[in-house]
Amino acid sequence: MKYFTLLLLVTVCSLPAFAQQDPLYAQYINNPILLNPAYAGLNNNFNANATYRNQWGGFDGNPVTFNFNTHVSLVNNKVGAGLLISQDKLGIIKNTEVQAAFSYKLPLDNDRIFSFGMQAGFVNFRANYNDLNIPDDQRDDIAFSANENLSKPSLGAGFILKSEKYLLGASVPRLLSTTVTASSTGQEFELYKQHFYFFGSYIIFLNENVRFKPSALVRAVGGSPLSVDLNFNFNINEKFTVGAFTRNFGAYGIQLQAKLGDNFRFGYIFELPTNNSVGTRFTTHEVLIGATMPVFDYHDRSISSF
Task: Report the pLDDT averaged over residues 67-96.
Answer: 93
Q: Which residues of 11-43 are buried (b: 16+ CB within 10 A; e: fewer)?
A: bbeebeeebbbbbbbbbbbbbbbbbbbbbbbbb
Report the pLDDT value the prediction gives residue 157, as an integer from 0 to 100. 97
Q: What is the CATH number of the domain that holds 278?
A: 2.40.160.40
- Report how many domains make up the chain: 1
User: Is residue 12 situated within a structural domain?
Assistant: yes
User: Is residue 298 situated within a structural domain?
Assistant: no
User: Is residue 154 situated within a structural domain?
Assistant: yes
User: Is residue 304 situated within a structural domain?
Assistant: no
pTM of the model: 0.85
Report the pLDDT value the prediction gives residue 2, as an integer from 0 to 100. 39
- Going 231 to 249 to 195 to 183, the CA torsion angle's sign is positive
Domain that holds residue 80: 2-293
User: Is residue 306 situated within a structural domain?
Assistant: no
User: Is residue 302 situated within a structural domain?
Assistant: no
Report the pLDDT value the prediction gives residue 269, as an integer from 0 to 100. 93
- pLDDT higher than 90, residue 63: no
- pLDDT higher than 50, residue 25: yes
The closest alpha carbon to 158, from 216, 239, 104, belongs to 104
User: Is residue 305 situated within a structural domain?
Assistant: no
136-150, 169-183, 230-244, 247-261: least confidently modelled range? 136-150
User: Is residue 303 situated within a structural domain?
Assistant: no
